[in-house]
Amino acid sequence: MASWRVAASLLALRDQVNLAWPGRSRASDGTIGDARHRSRDSDHNPWIEDGAVGVVSALDLTHDRAGGCDMEKVVEAVRASRDRRIKYIIWNRRICSSSAVGNATAWAWRAYGGSNPHDKHAHFSVKASKALYDNPDPWSIGARATVSDPLSPEIATRPVLRRDSRSAAVSELQTLLRRHGHDITVDGRFGAATEAAVIAFQTALGLVPDGVVGQKTWAALLAA
Ligand SMILES: [Zn+2]
């Protein structure tokens, strides 16, 4: 397979986890199969074909309880949401599938006997239908703040704002910054105080602290 990409649903899941726990360890994260995976049947291999591009339909996310990114909680939140994009999840010596397997009902845990116990990362596989694997809707991940999908139309239509911008969108930005604890005036003018608040907000969320409000910063600001 000459070129490959990761399913959009899984990129959305990873973005959401990154925004919820910006400082999390990524030591056991993974998308495309390493040599060990490649010799086996694995969704980390880009076996799904979307035109000439292979699609990776599995994502590993690092268990980092100390960093707040507790895979037990993330996995249970996804499982509880019965997200229709999921094919199966492997976590901590167990596997659950979104459809019944043998005697196990849909979403019930079964023992997982693979050589890797999956206690350092959780494995998420999504279904092979493009309408599902490329669906970037927000996931239920159990985080206090559910971050909006950065690619949603609501966010894509918001303008990029920077120093000296003046518009109603700046007033909205200032209102959101106030909601996130920054004591600035809502006057529709992107001045030094607004820029400082944006940089502080971006730094706190692990975003690039450039003072420019693009889609990722809008997404984080709009998070509930
Ligand atoms: Zn995996």
Tell me the residue type at 59: L
Give the pLDDT confidence score for residue 146 in this predicted structure: 45
Which tokens belong to 9?
């649903």
CA quadruple 178, 183, 189, 190: dihedral positive or negative?
A: negative
- 71: how many CB neighbours lie within 10 A of its CB? 24
Give the pLDDT confidence score for residue 104 in this predicted structure: 92
Which tokens belong to 150?
């950065």
pLDDT, one tens digit per residue, over 31-81 is: 886 655 555 568 888 899 999 889 999 999 999 999 889 999 999 999 999
Give the pLDDT confidence score for residue 210 in this predicted structure: 93
Give the pLDDT confidence score for residue 40 in this predicted structure: 56
Give the pLDDT confidence score for residue 197 in this predicted structure: 93
CA of 58 to the centre of ligand 1 (A): 6
Protein residues placing their CB within 5 Å of the ion ligand 1: 60, 123
Give the pLDDT confidence score for residue 156 in this predicted structure: 67
Instruction: Tell me how far the alpha carbon of residue 79 is from its chain's centroid.
Output: 16
Q: How far apart are CA 36 and CA 39, in angstroms?
A: 6
Residues of the chain with pLDDT under 70: 1-2, 33-41, 144-156, 224
CA of 178 to the centre of ligand 1 (A): 40
CA of 94 to the centre of ligand 1 (A): 13
CA of 129 to the centre of ligand 1 (A): 19
CA of 44 to the centre of ligand 1 (A): 7
